[in-house]
Amino acid sequence: MIAAALVVLTVSGAPASAADALIAVATNFAEPMELLEADFENRSGHAITVAPGSTGKLYGQIVQGAPFDILLAADMERPRRLEDEGHAVTGSRFTYAIGRLTLWSADRSLIPEDGLTVLHSGGFRSLAIANPDLAPYGAAALETLAKYGLQDALSEKLVRGQNAGQAFALVATGNAELGLVALSSVLSTRNAIKGSRWDVPAGDHEPIAQDAVLLARAADNPAARDFMAYLRSEGAREIIARFGYGVSP
Condensed to tens digits (0 to 9), the pLDDT of residues 118-138 reads: 999 999 999 999 999 888 899
Q: b/e per residue, 160-178, with b = 16+ CB within 10 A?
A: bbbbbbbbbbbbbeeebbb
Q: How many CA atoms lie within 13 A of 4 on its CB side?
A: 3
The pLDDT value recorded for residue 219 is 97
Residues of the chain falling short of pLDDT 70: 1-17, 249
What structural domains and CATH numbers belong to the chain? 2-98+207-242 (3.40.190.10), 101-199 (3.40.190.10)
164-176 per-position pLDDT tens digit: 899 999 999 999 9
Sheet arrangement for strand 101-105: 158-161, 127-130, 178-182, 101-105, 196-199
The pLDDT value recorded for residue 7 is 33
CB 147 within 8 A of CB 205: yes
In whole angstroms, what is the distance from residue 203 CA to residue 48 CA? 36
Sheet arrangement for strand 208-214: 47-53, 20-26, 70-72, 208-214, 94-99
What pTM value is reported for the model?
A: 0.79
The pLDDT value recorded for residue 17 is 64
Q: How many CA atoms lie within 13 A of 80 on its CB side?
A: 7
Q: Which residues pair with 206 in a beta bridge?
A: none
Task: Count the Cβ atoms, other than its own, within 10 Å of residue 90.
Answer: 12
**∠ CA 105-107-108 to the nearest 5 degrees?**
105
